[in-house]
């Protein structure tokens, strides 16, 4: 089953206008010169979605948000609705990133509401899952991933409106990654869970990304794994050179 890889950059809380526009413009120029074999996406801070979307319009580089609220509108000071991201030119939104689950205490039920809100607004939801180091050491990785998958995926999820990102919490920003066998095992498990939840035809089309210290030097072996359909890249997405090198590693 040919799934077109998705290489997604999560800029996190980094960048002012000049940096963000320059980075996105550099990537858009490379895509125009040499279209990659993968879909490319950048998720800048919400403050830059509008400027970045306008800077890369027509290049094929997609733009996404890093979070959205689970409700469509209302009294939620400081929050951003999925439709607001869509309105600025976003096509995707990350939900349930471990930094949101940890820093903001987000539960899988909230993540599910956010994914549903994203779908209602016409955005693709990138739903993040992953175990902590203690959970891995305790042999609970697959159980944690199963619980998060079951709890975070909303009704109406399809391979067109949903992407899963497996991100072991202990691999994010640490330079450490699981072995390729460990990544393959979790991705296979997620594919099996998707088969049960969505049916086998849909599961075969679902893109499952790996995230956590993916960089040019390890991207090729990770992206070559059967059930790894792209990457969610933090640190290495802040340099056009590195992000591009990862995109070029996608099959
Ligand atoms: P990292 O972050 O690539 O810096 O480890 C990945 C992520 O948090 O999405």
DSSP per residue over 95-136, as a string? ES-HHHHHHS---HHHHHHHHHHHHHTTPEEEEEE---HHHH
Rounded to whole angstroms, the Cα distance separating 152 from 116 reads 10
Mean of pLDDT values over 30-50: 97
Residue 17, in any domain of the structure: no
**Which domain, by its residues, includes 216?**
6-12+22-51+62-248
pLDDT exceeds 80 at position 85: yes
The CATH number of residue 208's host domain is: 3.20.20.70
Rounded to whole angstroms, the Cα distance separating 160 from 157 reads 8
Residue 128, in any domain of the structure: yes
Residue 204, in any domain of the structure: yes
Give the list of residues 6+ apart from residue 192 with CB closer than 8 angstroms, or none.
Answer: 203
Within 13 Å of residue 194, how many CA atoms lie on the same side as its CB?
24
Q: Encode pLDDT of 111-141 as tens digits.
A: 999 999 999 999 999 999 999 999 999 999 9
Q: How many domains does the chain have?
A: 1
Question: How remote is the CA of residue 75 from the centroid of ligand 1, in Å?
Answer: 31
Residue 1, in any domain of the structure: no
Ligand 1 binding residues, C-beta < 6 A: 10, 167, 172-173, 211-214, 232-236
Ligand 1 atom nearest to 99, measured from its CA: 8
Ligand 1 atom nearest to 94, measured from its CA: 9
Say whether 97 is catalytic. Answer: yes
Residue 127, in any domain of the structure: yes
Rounded to 10°, the helix 17-33/240-249 angle is: 40
pLDDT exceeds 80 at position 251: no
| Model pLDDT, residue 71 | 98
Residue 227, in any domain of the structure: yes
Residue 229, in any domain of the structure: yes
Q: Which is catalytic among the residues 99, 135, 167, 187?
A: 167
Residue 89, in any domain of the structure: yes
């Amino acid at each position: 089953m040919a799934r077109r890889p998705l290489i997604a950059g999560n800029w996190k809380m980094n960048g002012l206008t000049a940096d963000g526009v320059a980075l996105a413009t550099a990537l858009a120029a490379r895509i125009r010169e040499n279209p990659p074999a993968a879909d490319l996406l950048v998720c800048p801070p919400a403050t830059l979605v509008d400027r970045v979307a306008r800077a890369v319009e027509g290049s094929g580089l997609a733009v996404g948000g890093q979070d959205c609220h689970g409700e469509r509108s209302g009294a939620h000071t400081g929050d951003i609705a999925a439709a607001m991201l869509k309105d600025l030119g976003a096509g995707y939104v990350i939900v349930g990133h471990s930094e949101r689950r940890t820093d903001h205490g987000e539960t899988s039920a909230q993540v599910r509401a956010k994914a549903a809100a994203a779908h209602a607004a016409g955005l693709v939801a990138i739903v993040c899952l992953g175990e902590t180091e203690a959970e891995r050491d305790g042999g609970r990785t697959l159980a944690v991933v199963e619980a998060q998958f079951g709890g975070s995926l909303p009704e109406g999820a399809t391979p067109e409106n949903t992407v899963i990102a497996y991100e072991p919490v202990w691999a994010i920003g640490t330079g450490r990654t699981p072995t390729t066998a460990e990544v393959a095992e979790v991705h296979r498990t997620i594919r099996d869970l998707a088969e049960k939840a969505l049916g086998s035809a849909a599961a075969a089309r679902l893109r499952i990304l790996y995230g956590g210290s993916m960089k040019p030097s390890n991207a090729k072996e990770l992206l070559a794994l059967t059930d790894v359909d792209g990457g969610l890249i933090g640190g290495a997405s802040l340099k056009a050179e590195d992000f591009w090198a990862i995109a070029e590693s996608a099959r």
